[in-house]
Amino acid sequence: MKIIGVDIGGTGIKAGLFLDNKLVEKISTKTHGKEGLSSILKSLTFAIDYFLKKNFDVNYIGISTAGNIDPKAGKCIYASNNLVGWTGFEIKSFIENHYKITCFVENDAVCHLYSQINKKTFNKNIFLMTIGTGLGAVLYRNNSVLYGKDFDLMKIAHTVVKENGIKCDCGQYGCAEKELSATGLSINARIVYSRRIKVKELFALYAKGDENAKKIIDNYFKEFNWFLNYIKETYHPDLIMIGGGVARSKNVFLKNIVSNCEIQFLRHSGNAGLYGANKLVRRNVNE
């Protein structure tokens, strides 16, 4: 079976070709999500076309994407301002009409979860968070995803972790979605350094012992650990899984996380979304 897996984030789109469940090639491109729907679709089709132009006889396309996703309809019910125009867009219909290939679509946090589930974790109650431009969060209980109302995954990502914090697209201030994401780290770093600073650079400064970086990271993990404790006390997961671009600084997280719950970092590093999109297809076609 040949599957194209696609992972759509606020800043980047990854696509990979899976042959018999093995990732054999991948590419990435910028999402241009703040430029509107046409720009997102241009990037999306570029990524998919890369493989189709090589004359691969692709059987399915699986898409992992940020936003509240109705997986049956393959439609985005709501997306933040990181993906302008994505709200209300019928992703599945667009892909199937454009390529004449069966497509399955799911929220990125759910796909990250699917990429991790195995015989050891199948029967566990799991909380997974993926930390990138935004923050995805999903609960898996009794072998099922808790979708919540309107596929909002129970709005766990919109738990307020900082009073009077950064304004979130949902209208609240201090949501985990903003405060614990790369967006929140960058905003707080810019205030301190008076210039644009990427998360990768911030973690590098922290590793060198920079006092300003230490203050920012210490404050970040104060909120992060509060959030983990809230999740533990409210939802009682057996296991907490952490992934996403920000969490690639695994050593910093291991040094600063304080939790009495079992913690795992996602397998497949930055490709968990692709593996999840592949797994999404296989779950739907029962292979």
State the pLDDT at residue 287: 57
Q: How far apart are CA 64 and CA 58, in angstroms?
A: 17
> Which residue's entry shows tokens 């592949």?
278
Q: How far apart are CA 23 and CA 42, in angstroms?
A: 24
* Domain that includes residue 167, residue range: 120-266
Q: How far apart are CA 42 and CA 244, in angstroms?
A: 24
State the pLDDT at residue 56: 81
> Do both 21 and 80 map to the same domain?
yes
Give per-residue burial for 48-72: e unless 16+ CB within 10 Å, then b. Answer: bebbbeeeeebebbbbbbbbbbbbe
> Do both 261 and 280 map to the same domain?
no
How many structural domains does the chain have? 2
> Do both 85 and 131 map to the same domain?
no
Report residue 165 CA to chain centroid gap. Answer: 22
State the pLDDT at residue 32: 96
| DSSP-derived pairing of the beta strands 239-243 and 126-131 | parallel
> Do both 82 and 41 map to the same domain?
yes
State the pLDDT at residue 150: 93
Residue 37, CA atoms < 13 Å, CB-side half-sphere = 10
Q: End-to-end CA distance of the chain: give it in Å, rounded.
A: 10
> Do both 19 and 154 map to the same domain?
no
> Do both 171 and 92 map to the same domain?
no
> Do both 103 and 199 map to the same domain?
no
The sign of the dihedral angle between the CA atoms of 77, 6, 276, 202 is negative
pLDDT mean values, one per 10 residues, the chain (287 residues): 96 96 96 97 98 92 97 97 96 98 97 92 92 94 94 97 95 96 96 94 96 97 97 96 92 94 91 97 88
Neighbours of 123 (CB within 10 A): 10
Q: How far apart are CA 100 and CA 109, in angstroms?
A: 27
> Do both 42 and 71 map to the same domain?
yes
What lies within 8 Å, CB to CB, of 24 at 6+ separation is 16, 17, 18
- For residue 137, the domain's CATH number is 3.30.420.40
Q: How far apart are CA 15 and CA 240, in angstroms?
A: 27
Which residues, listed in sequence order, are joined to residue 243 by a DSSP beta bridge?
130
State the pLDDT at residue 121: 84
> Do both 12 and 149 map to the same domain?
no
Cβ-based burial of 151 (10 A; exposed 0-12, middle 13-18, buried ≥19): buried
> Do both 100 and 125 map to the same domain?
no
- Left (φ > 0), alpha (ψ -120 to 50) or beta: where does 109 sit? alpha
> Do both 228 and 245 map to the same domain?
yes
State the pLDDT at residue 14: 97
DSSP reduced 3-state for 74: coil
> Do both 86 and 139 map to the same domain?
no
